[in-house]
Structure 1
Amino acid sequence: MSKYIFNDNQIAIIEKLDLNLGIEEAEKLFTSDEHSWEELETLLKVANALYRSGYPIIEDETYDEYLNYFKTHDPDNPYLLNVEPEVLIDSKTVRLPKKMLSTDKAYSFEEIKKWTERITKAASEIDFDQNLIRIRVTPKLDGYAAYDDGITLYTRGDGTRGQDITRAFERGLKVAKNAGRGLGPGEIVIKKSYFNEVLSEKFENSRNIQAAIIAEKKVDEDVQKAIDEGACVFYPFSLLDNWTGSIEELLSKFDSILESMWNSIDFDIDGLVLESTNAPIKEHMGSTRKFHRWQIAFKVNEESAEVEVLKVVHQTSRTGRVSPVAELVPTKLSGATLSRATVHHYNMVKTNGVGPGAIIKLVRSGLVGVTIHSNVSSRTQLDFQMHSNVSSRTQLDFQMAV
């Protein structure tokens, strides 16, 4: 098990949680393979706070695994029934103009089918014509959740009370697609291409930048430049590209819809959001304290594939940065076809023997977490991982080709 050591920002956030937990104790929680139920609850609270503050310590899929395991022990625990709170070191909370709930999750096609059955059942209960049921599918942005009422920009907070971060707009943050203010819920995000080309060597992950945009302290000059150049935006959910159709169409074309939505935007996503668009059904199904029953997020379970490297070429970004690119035998994984891998450091290509004929194992945990575990031929072992908290390893940006 890797040893976790918190940085100064993470320590400040943990201390704000008031969990009566020492920093060394917290680090041991993430290092240990075994936890009591109480320790597991504490681990979840710490991991959630760090993630929502822009300084994640573990991967999304690891957090989800811990969360699902905890549910088996205490499904009625208040932590599981309410929106996971966020922690910002500064700012006072204010009441949100509208509740912002979390989203329930599904990890398989079968779970999606069961959700559509609940939608159909709800329609029958109110005598709603099932031929009129429509499902909307959008990318699930992996950014910083916020709500814009046209005057104030709020963080999601605990779903009822958030923090005023209007200063982000005052710093020049634009709304995606040059839209106006007041479009409700969305996320603060940064373009993947810009992050990889310009900021990936300075920042461990894009959430560091999202946190910097809304922080009360002075904005880092590179982050400010990203704002000025339109790479950072507030993206209202209502502006996202979407697929809308019947349940029958959704289930029969699910793989193609998955791939289409995955490739629709140049921002990090960590799944798809599916929701009923029918107001009577939404009203009838309602919500729990944590999420809407008429909405669900689809996140893919871990899948893997062995892929052959065809050749390694170089590409030059618009900033003049040269990076090696491994061209792969096109391989479909989790609904997306992988054909290229941008490796950000030439030394790693040389050291690990990434070249024509090398066979590598790709592992995708969720829609965005692609990991090369090892080459499965007799060539040099590879251990490249897209872990935001592992800054010493090569980060890969897998480009999708339909």
Structure 2
Amino acid sequence: MEQNSVIEQMRQLIQLIAKHNHAYYVMDQPSISDSEYDHLFHQLKALEQQHPELVQADTPTNKVGGQALSKFESVTHTVPMLSLGNVFNQEDLFAFARRIDERLPNQKVQYDVELKLDGLAISLWYEHGVLVRGVTRGDGETGEDITQNVKTIRNLPKVLSSQYQAIPQFLEVRGEVLMPKQGFEKLNADQEAKGHKTFANPRNAAAGSLRQLDPNIAASRPLAFYAYGIAQCEPHHNLPTMHDSLHWLTKFGFEIAERQFLCASIEEVQQRYEQIQQERPDLKVEIDGMVVKVDSLKQQQQLGFLSREPRWATAYKFPAQAALTKVENIDWQVGRTGTLTPVARLSPVNVGGVMVSNVTLHNIGEIHRLDVRIGDTVSVYRSGDVGVTIHSNVSSRTQLDFQMAV
């Protein structure tokens, strides 16, 4: 058998096995039977035994994981990983579009609209098609080197291959690591069965898994990576739009979020936002909104950046998630400076994936103003990562509304 033919067979088997591993371990939705999987695995192993000199760097026949680290090294991002500005309603969204139109007079603007994944942003470096580095976002300027852990993520390509295009000499891909809903539920069921602590939500579980010094722990968790952009590419890919660049990445084996839209107007963006709000419970992953980007990469360059965020993109957040619960007690906490702060002790309730049992009431004046008392039923809500807030008192005793940040 010719060398190129053997390598091609190995690559096909590696990609097939990676796909089925992702379905089984991460999505908790096996796509083939165990015997079919074993057949593929042994087929690859036999090829490797016959041609040990051709074994691929990302072969799944090697044990995933490695030696535990004593600490994570800090890495400075060559291209800063900036945050996004937020909009929360249609008025804010249209104002975002007006600012773009003012800076791009007489230009047609299209929008790339993606799911705002509720995970952990990371940067991946590939040199000559081989994954050499994975770094957390950190503060946007400096992150932590988590290369050993990202190499355990089953749907993330460790070696780039494509029948359709040349492999870049250097490529930096940005994306989000998270746990799909079904994998997260299975992980928590397993944790509970073993008597271990369960995770509050998929984001916390993913972040905690990626920051384990022992990569074998990360390897045991149902993590998935979804690409959302290219920070650097040499030679340049020469693609004109964000939409095109994301689909270009899929040809190398990267996954992107399960929904992506190209919108001809800001009104269409609003329609897609409303559509995704309806479809949100049926998505495979947790999201907390949509990301709206100017699609043209040339127009993105023209628009540029503010100090901490791009002018050409924004996060369109979903409304807060709310739940009702009861005020069981109100007691006082003594701060480090001796300040007394009243705290409402609540019947534990899950709000947007976070178990809430305490909410600060700030001071005695606020208690009187809100007229909140032991035994009241209150509405507690969470909006993205902003925190948990008592939104209103809905007990039969009073219908006074109040709003309070944690």
Q: TM-score, normalised by structure 1?
A: 0.48
Q: TM-score, normalised by structure 2?
A: 0.48
Larger Rg: 2
